[in-house]
C-alpha cells in the first residue's frame, strides 16, 4: 500500500492534535470494520459579519496512519471557515487534499468528514439561539 508524501507528513506531524478544553461542540465517530475512533472538538466564535466560524479545532484519533492523516487534514481544511462551509466538507475532498488515499483506506477519510458534521450538529443542538 502506497501513501503520498502528504499523507505521511500529516501522519508523522499531525496538526491540531489534542483535546480542546471548553469546546463548544464535539463528537466521536468510529468505524466498526477497522476499529478506528475519532473525536473532534470545536471552538466557535463570530466574525465581523456575525457568522459563526471555527476559531479552533482539535482531534484525537485512535487508528491507522490514514485515519490520523485525514483527521489532521480535515481540521486544517475547516479552521477559520464558517459552520456552513465546514459542514459541506466531503471525504473525497479530504482525500484529494492529501494527494489521494489507497482504495482500502478511503473509509478513514469518512471518519473525519463525519466527525466534523456531528460536532457542528452537537454545537447547533446545544447552543441557545
All cell numbers assigned to 88: 459541506
Task: Give residue-wise pLDDT tens across range 51-105.
Answer: 999 999 999 999 888 889 999 999 999 999 999 999 999 988 998 999 988 777 7
Residue tagged 482539535 (cell numbers): 58
Q: Pairing state of beta strands 52-62 and 37-46? A: antiparallel
**Torsion over CA: 45, 47, 53, 57 (sign):** negative
- The answer for residues whose C-beta is within 8 angstroms of residue 58's C-beta and 6 or more apart is 16, 17, 18, 19, 20, 23, 40, 41, 75
pTM: 0.90
Query: Which residue in 108, 116, 119, 120 is the catalytic one?
Result: 108
Whether 108 is catalytic: yes
Residue tagged 478511503 (cell numbers): 106
pLDDT averaged over the chain?
91
Mean pLDDT of the 36-65 span:
94
Query: Which residue in 8, 17, 34, 106 is the catalytic one?
Result: 34
Ranges of each domain in the chain: 5-123
Task: For residue 129, name the pLDDT band (cuts at 50, 70, 90).
Answer: low
| CATH ID of 5-123, from 3.90.580.10, 3.40.50.970, 3.50.50.60, 3.90.1010.10 | 3.90.1010.10
Amino acid at each position: 500500500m502506497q501513501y503520498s508524501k502528504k499523507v505521511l507528513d500529516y501522519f508523522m506531524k499531525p496538526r491540531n492534535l489534542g483535546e480542546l478544553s471548553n469546546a463548544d461542540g464535539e463528537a466521536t465517530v468510529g468505524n466498526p470494520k477497522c476499529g478506528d475512533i475519532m473525536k473532534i472538538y470545536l471552538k466557535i466564535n463570530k466574525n465581523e459579519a456575525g457568522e459563526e466560524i471555527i476559531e479552533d479545532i482539535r482531534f484525537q484519533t485512535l487508528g491507522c496512519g490514514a485515519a490520523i492523516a485525514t483527521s489532521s487534514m480535515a481540521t486544517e481544511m475547516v479552521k477559520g471557515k464558517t459552520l456552513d462551509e465546514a459542514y459541506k466538507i466531503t471525504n473525497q475532498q479530504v482525500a484529494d487534499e492529501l494527494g489521494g488515499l489507497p482504495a482500502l483506506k478511503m473509509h478513514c477519510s469518512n471518519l473525519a468528514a463525519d466527525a466534523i458534521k456531528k460536532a457542528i450538529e452537537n454545537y447547533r443542538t446545544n447552543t441557545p439561539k
